[in-house]
Amino acid sequence: MGGAGVTGTFVGMPTFPVAARRALGDAQLRHNLGQATATIRAKRQRLVEEVDAAVPTSAADPQGLGGWEALRRAGAAVKEAALRSLPEHLERLEAELVANGATVHWARDAAEACSVVAAVARAHGVREVVKVKSMVTQEIGLNEALEAEGVAAWETDLAELIVQLDEDLPSHILVPAIHRNRAEVREIFLRRMKEVGRAAPDGLGDEPAALAAAARSHLREKFLSARMAVSGANFAVAETGTLVVVESEGNGRMCLTLPEVLVSVVGIEKVVPTWEQLDPMLRLLPRSSTGERMNPYTSTWSGTAAGDGPGEVHVVLLDNGRTRALADEVGRQALRCIRCSACLNVCPVYERTGGHAYGSVYPGPIGAILNPLLNGVGHDDQVDSLPYASTLCGACFEVCPVRIDIPSVLVDQRAQVVDAHRGRRRSGEAVVMRLAAATLADEGRLGFAERFTGVGLRAARRGAGWPGLRRWTGARDLPRPPRESFRAWWRRTGGGTR
């Protein structure tokens, strides 16, 4: 893993089209994803409508910005303002944290962050840590890094536990095991729990309650024995040095309160200046992610508190490509992301390929822009393929609670991919595109090309054709070529009669 490498977890993944092709052939995956995303989309939609319905439409809202749209704009504004004065807010956050008894570490990249966490584990002589579900620790490949130091990191979020037990990779931000159904989960629990801790009970069924109970007793053992926990944070409130974690299961709170030592890895973009500004975020996040009005558990902690919770608290403030993204004029808005997954759930591409095809812990539309932004483009075909993993249909932008214009960032990232390859090896695509540009820009040449299109279509329909065409004709007929182009018709008739 290089300095700017986002994660070690997905190393060596094929490009999106190749991985997608494989995923599309997995009937079980397609079914599981279709069901799960449809359910969560409907839940979110109901709540958005509820927010809109709660706001009486009136003259006070002349621009027609109803409740939800107003909330989105507020959320986007909070994050945007925080990003504009990031250094100032981070310094405040650090000062408050230190004043509250926490130790603050700054990490430029994944390797630095992992070594901080490993050093804390070493200092306390722990062989295992419990983990709160967190994207950033996956981003930096923390579990693998700790394992290399002989420290076992146990995921305690139910879906993360499923993925970890199966030695699988996460495929969704919120529901990393979304690609699994309950029959598969039962099988994983029966097969694997006994190898790493308390076994699943004999005769385990696949009812959600039974599976949750099995996970609970398996995890309870870990909570009670672990002396160190690792978390991320959904938000970091600068004015009081407070980290915030929202979750549904309560397992995160166990990790945050039971062990003696707590290390939280926090991306620098997570900072919000004040509690007041946290307010719209905490209303947007649960509605957009789990489709709930409020998440069941909201844990907040500001450093250490005598006799309450961990006595030693570390906070690792992580860059790992974020300042690079921040410098990107168009792409920087991606740092507003609150990892709600609404864009995944609504994405027609994600719904069909699942998350693994994106080759990163950040899949779906946000992954398609965030990975190139954090890593840079032009040096890895896998990363370069991601901005193209979209039809630019715009459904993601429509649901994003912080109004990240993902389609515009995708187009900009595509331009950066193309630019990065300018003057290097000439790809077939670049040649075709330049030829097309020259043809399309000139009326005379365009007229010629139209005649050529007719000839080409006729030949292709007869079965001749070039290999690239098969990508079209594999599943779709070509249109019948017209007798004459529109242009020719207009010239002939002046737009008179057909």
Tokens of 489: 């018709």
Question: Which pairing describes strands 242-247 and 235-237: parallel, antiparallel, or unpaired?
Answer: antiparallel
Selected range binding ligand SF4 among 10-18, 290-298, 310-318, 340-348, rule: CB under 6 A? 340-348
Query: Could you give the strand order of the β-sheet that contains 297-301, starting from the edge strand earlier in sequence?
Result: 271-272, 235-237, 242-247, 297-301
**Among ligand SF4, other proteins, none, partner that 418 touches (CB below 5 to 8 angstroms by kind):** other proteins
Judged by beta carbon, residue 135 or residue 177, the one nearer ligand SF4 is 135
Give yes or no for a contact between 480 and 462, defined as CB atoms under 8 angstroms apart. no
Question: Which pairing describes strands 312-318 and 261-267: parallel, antiparallel, or unpaired?
Answer: parallel
Which run of H or of E encompasses 264?
strand 261-267
Mask: binding to other proteins, 454-483, rule CB under 8 A, as x and -? x--x----------x--xx-xxxxxxxxxx
* Candidate list 6, 271, 272, 395; residue touching other proteins; CB under 8 A: 395
Q: How many CA atoms lie within 13 A of 396 on its CB side?
A: 31
Residue 305 forms beta bridges with which residues?
308
SS3 113: helix
**# of chain residues touching ligand SF4 (CB under 6 A):** 14
Residue 102 interacting with ligand SF4 (CB under 6 A): no
**Among ligand SF4, other proteins, none, partner that 338 touches (CB below 5 to 8 angstroms by kind):** ligand SF4
Give yes or no for a contact between 118 and 124, defined as CB atoms under 8 angstroms apart. no
* Candidate list 2, 3, 21, 431; residue touching other proteins; CB under 8 A: 21
Mask: binding to ligand SF4, 286-325, rule CB under 6 A, as x and -? --x-------------------------------------
Among candidates 36, 29, 31, 9, which has minimal Cα distance to 167?
A: 9
Q: How many CA atoms lie within 13 A of 313 on its CB side?
A: 29
Give yes or no for a contact between 306 and 257, defined as CB atoms under 8 angstroms apart. no
Judged by beta carbon, residue 41 or residue 216, the one nearer ligand SF4 is 41
SS3 59: coil
Residue 385 interacting with ligand SF4 (CB under 6 A): no
Among candidates 399, 77, 369, 91, which has minimal Cα distance to 236?
A: 91
Residue with tokens 């002939």: 492
SS3 230: strand
Residue 400 interacting with ligand SF4 (CB under 6 A): yes
Query: Could you give the strand order of the β-sheet that contains 103-107, starting from the edge strand earlier in sequence?
Result: 103-107, 312-318, 261-267, 228-231, 128-131, 152-155
Tokens of 410: 């995708």
In the bound complex, what is the minimum distance in angstroms from residue 93's beta carbon to other proteins?
Answer: 35
Judged by beta carbon, residue 65 or residue 437, the one nearer other proteins is 437
Residue 337 interacting with ligand SF4 (CB under 6 A): yes
The C-alpha angle 331, 333, 334, rounded to 5 degrees, equals 75
Give yes or no for a contact between 207 and 264, defined as CB atoms under 8 angstroms apart. no
Residue 254 interacting with ligand SF4 (CB under 6 A): no
Residue 404 interacting with ligand SF4 (CB under 6 A): yes
State how far the Cα of 179 lies from the Cα of 32, in Å rounded to an integer: 6
**Among other proteins, ligand SF4, none, partner that 16 touches (CB below 5 to 8 angstroms by kind):** other proteins
**Among ligand SF4, other proteins, none, partner that 339 touches (CB below 5 to 8 angstroms by kind):** ligand SF4
Tokens of 323: 């300042």
In the bound complex, what is the minimum distance in angstroms from residue 439's beta carbon to other proteins?
Answer: 9
In the bound complex, what is the minimum distance in angstroms from residue 25's beta carbon to other proteins?
Answer: 9
* Candidate list 106, 275, 297, 388; residue touching other proteins; CB under 8 A: 388
Residue 423 interacting with other proteins (CB under 8 A): no
* Straight-line distance from the first to the last Cα atom of the chain, in angstroms, rounded to the nearest whole number: 64
Tokens of 428: 């077939």
Judged by beta carbon, residue 97 or residue 366, the one nearer ligand SF4 is 366
Residue 165 interacting with ligand SF4 (CB under 6 A): no
Instruction: Name residues contacting other proteins, limited to 439-458 (CB under 8 A).
Output: 440-443, 446, 449-450, 453-454, 457
In the bound complex, what is the minimum distance in angstroms from residue 236's beta carbon to ligand SF4?
Answer: 16
Residue with tokens 């250490």: 304
* Candidate list 79, 89, 339, 356; residue touching ligand SF4; CB under 6 A: 339
Which run of H or of E encompasses 457?
helix 443-461
**Among ligand SF4, other proteins, none, partner that 31 touches (CB below 5 to 8 angstroms by kind):** none
Selected range binding other proteins among 68-76, 164-172, 225-233, 381-389, rule: CB under 8 A? 381-389
In the bound complex, what is the minimum distance in angstroms from residue 484's beta carbon to other proteins?
Answer: 7
Binding site for ligand SF4 (CB under 6 A): 288, 337-343, 366, 399-402, 404
Binding site for other proteins (CB under 8 A): 16-17, 20-21, 24, 348-349, 352-353, 387-395, 397-398, 408, 411, 413-419, 429-430, 433-434, 436-437, 440-443, 446, 449-450, 453-454, 457, 468, 471-472, 474-487, 489-491, 495, 498
